Amino acid sequence: MTRRLQLSETGGGVVVVTLDRPQAMNAFDTAMAEEMLTLFGTTLRRRDDIRAVVLTGAGERAFSVGADLKERAGMSNDAWRKQHALYRDTFESLWNFPWPVIAAVRGYALGGGCELALGADFVHAAENAVFGLPEITLGIMPGAGGTQLLPRALGLRRAKELILTGEKFAAREAHDWGLVNALHPPGEELEAAIAVARRIAANAPLAVQGAKRAMDGGIDAPLKVGLALEVSVHQRLSASDDRAEGVRAFNEKRTPEWKFR
């Protein structure tokens, strides 16, 4: 079976995961979902040297256009439900990944591809990128986080219009609305995302994980709950060797040597 994902090591704890079905515009099929579940749920999660991941798509045309409808043609309802359960497990492995994930988007990011970008911690996109959740036009609805993550990124009213019409929206709109962090000339978005990932990876690993956990866990909680989570994580970091090393390095005017403990 052809591998659907490619893993590239860039050094410094940063890896690039590439959806590698350019002939199918990087559409998700069962094999790709299984590979991604293993990668984010087990393989990368267990590596002590990982500090950040960049997620991108192969080729010029698409980041990903979502589920492979050719594979789904003729699927029974039961087979469809089982495949969707796999897809949800796969996306949850991304949502729960302990290290930052940056999506580098070029071309189309539609359906599950848009949901994949939404599931990343943030997005750098080419100026020609196109986003959208067109599932409603096919008699279904977003089912891999779209109805929950798009409102959180854009606001409920704008997300309702986009999801209920199935309309696509351009990278410039995605940037103006807050879904995309930065726009780049096509072909430069990947290196830009890697550069940001390297900046993250240079910071104290426990602090990066802790800050991400506090933000993800507190965003939908009442403010008092979120603040309590922040204090809890902060106190654990205060007792870490890396906190002491960070202060020493600052006072000694040198680059810190993080121990991840």
Active site residues: 115, 135
Euclidean distance between CA atoms 122 and 120, whole angstroms: 5
- Range list of H helices, 76-204: 77-95, 112-119, 146-154, 156-165, 171-177, 189-201
Q: Are 6 and 47 in contact (CB under 8 A)?
A: no
131: left (phi over 0), alpha (psi -120 to 50) or beta: beta
Euclidean distance between CA atoms 223 and 227, whole angstroms: 6
Euclidean distance between CA atoms 184 and 199, whole angstroms: 18
User: Whose CA is closest to 229, among 242, 255, 210?
Assistant: 210
Euclidean distance between CA atoms 111 and 139, whole angstroms: 13
